[in-house]
Amino acid sequence: MQLSDVQREKLCEMTNVAFVEIRQLAQDGRLEQAFDLASAFHNLLDDLWGDDFKLAEFRDARLAGYQKKYPEPGNRNYVVLVDQIIKLGKAGPAVS
C-alpha cells in the first residue's frame, strides 16, 4: 500500500522532530545516541517516495533497534509514532 499524502506529511514532521532531538542530544554530549538516531532516519526522506517503501519495514528495520537501545521514558518513542502514522493509512480518506 502506497503512503497517503497525510502519512508522508506526518513522516516529514516526525523527521523534523528527530533533527531537533539530534541537535539536543549532541549538545548534551550524548553523541552515540545522536548518531544512532541520525542513522535510523538518514534515508527516510528519499525512501518515502518510493513505490516499494513499506512503513512497517522502516519501523522494524530502522526504529525498533533504536528504541530497544534507548528505552528511557524521557526519550521520544518513534515506533509508537510510526504505528500512529500507519493507522492513518488504514483509516482511508475522510468523507465530506
Q: Give pLDDT tens digits for 48-80.
A: 999 899 999 999 999 999 999 999 888 899 999
pLDDT of residue 92: 54
pLDDT at 96 over 90: no
Task: Report yes or no: 44 and 15 within 8 Å, Cβ to Cβ.
Answer: yes
Q: Sketch the domain layout of the chain as residue ranges.
A: 5-90
Instruction: Give, in order, the Cα–Cα distances in Å from 5 to each of 34, 82, 85.
Output: 28, 15, 11
pLDDT at 95 over 50: no
Query: Both ends of the chain: CA-CA distance in Å?
Result: 23
